[in-house]
Amino acid sequence: MDTTQLLKGVLDLAVLAALRDGDGYGYDILRRLRAAGLDEVGDASVYGTLRRLFAGGFLNTYVVPSDEGPHRKYYGLNAAGHAELQRSGKVWQGFASTMDDLLRERETA
Amino acid sequence: MNSTAQDEITDYVERVRAALADLPEATRAELLEDLPEHLAEIRAEDTVTLTDRLGTPEAYAAELRATAAAFVGGFPDPPKRRFEPLLAARADVMRVLGSADVRVGPLLGYPKASDFLQLLRPAWWVLRGYLAAMALAYFVDGQSTQVGLLPRIGNSTLVALVLLAGCIVVSVAIGRRRFELAGWKRLALYGGTTVLVFFAIGGFFSADSDVRDTGYSDVGYSSGGNPYDYIQDVFVYDNQGRPVPGARLFDQDGQPITIGNAYCTDPDTGEVDHTRSMGYPYCPDAAPFASARPEPTATATPDEATPAPTPTSASPSK
């Protein structure tokens, strides 16, 4: 099984979760995801997901000027984003435990 | 950052942009917004080329497009789902409009009616500017004075022209940049436009009724409009206080003045009959001031007039 296929389904949740601990700019969030172990996540996927979550009203955004580099666009969870993270997180946990049970049954069978 | 790196970034961004060329300008601008900054970050910490690190710009564009487009995952989107019946209704309306668009178009000589309407868009911008100026003038000043066709504030035509020009310029500028507006600004534009449309409809019908009403409001069907409304008959007296029978009235153009009610009520029988008098008064019997017997040689003065009401005395036409 290809993890990139699985990732597609949970990328939103992954990005929301990466923002739970604090606001971040695109590359920052990408690094958080990679540090958490999601090595396959693509740069463009993270930016595309951020853009879509923003369009969906789950994120707020602001620009932080920087002296040494380019200005950075920060993203952060708003109330709807936190609610979505909680809701989607529960869905995922339910789904994951169902899969776990299914796999365990197969093993014991 | 050296210039080669900058060139590489610019080149990469341009190729991603080209790969997204089919998207609406606003969507593409949104998707590309973070890209130069991101590429600069990568370039700053990595020595490999951007293509080695990220894949080709075309592949990057495809991935961006795939993740940004629809909700890819299995997680439903609650804020959107709540409006699903509305969205479905909107889709139905759009379908009907779409087929009407294609059918009406050829009648106008265009493939689609919307092709023709798009040509009118700048005209709408100008009209919207005018409406905005009128609305502004109305809310600032209009309640106290009569609203004309120019957005006058304090009855000044100069102010009106300046305000009009300013509003039209702003409206056209907004129209040209409407795709750059996002979020609340776009909503504000739509909301403001809706208010203006209602204002325009109200103003149009008010102006329409004003123009039509002036035709007969002066004649005065309304009570109090015409001070001569109540007149039933006209009695002419000469300088001696004698009633003038069969008097004719003319205006400055020689047109006979027709006024009053040419029917008389007989005081004894109560019967109503058309007058037999050839001029005013129609009903000599109903003279308000009784006067001396109207003899041709009379020298009677009002002082000598008989006070007793003798209504039959002054009716030479009988």
Domain map (residue ranges) of chain B: 3-69, 122-217, 228-318
ipTM: 0.78
State the average pLDDT over residues B75-79: 41
Closest by Cβ to A69, choosing from B40, B64, B67: B40
Residues of chain B with C-beta less than 8 angstroms from the C-beta of A47: 31, 34-35, 38, 64, 67-68
State the pLDDT confidence band at B79, using cuts at 50, 70 and 90.
very low
Of A35-39, B90-94, B141-145, minimum mean pLDDT range: B141-145
- Chosen for mutation from B41, B46, B52 (greatest number of chain A CBs closer than 10 Å) is B41
Q: In terms of CA atoms, which chain A residue is nearest residue B36? A: A70
What pLDDT does residue B29 have? 84
Inter-chain Cβ pairs, chain A and chain B, closer than 8 A = 91
A10 touches chain B (CB under 8 A): yes
Higher pLDDT, A58 or B278: A58
Q: What's the rounded Cα separation, in Å, for the pair A26 and B66?
A: 17
Distance from CA of B68 to the nearest CA of A (A): 4
Q: What is the pLDDT of residue B305?
A: 47
pLDDT of residue B215: 53
CA distance to partner chain B, nearest, from residue A33 (Å): 16
Domain of residue A99 covers 3-108
Q: What global pTM score does this model have? A: 0.41
pLDDT for the residue numbered B33: 83
State CA B243 to chain mean position distance.
Answer: 56
Contact flag B75-A44 (C-beta cutoff 8 Å): no
Distance from chain centroid for Cα A104? 28
Q: What is the CATH number of the domain that holds A87?
A: 1.10.10.10
**Residue A89 reports pLDDT greater than 80:** yes
Tell me how many domains chain A contains: 1
Instruction: For residue A39, give the 3-state DSSP assignment.
Output: coil
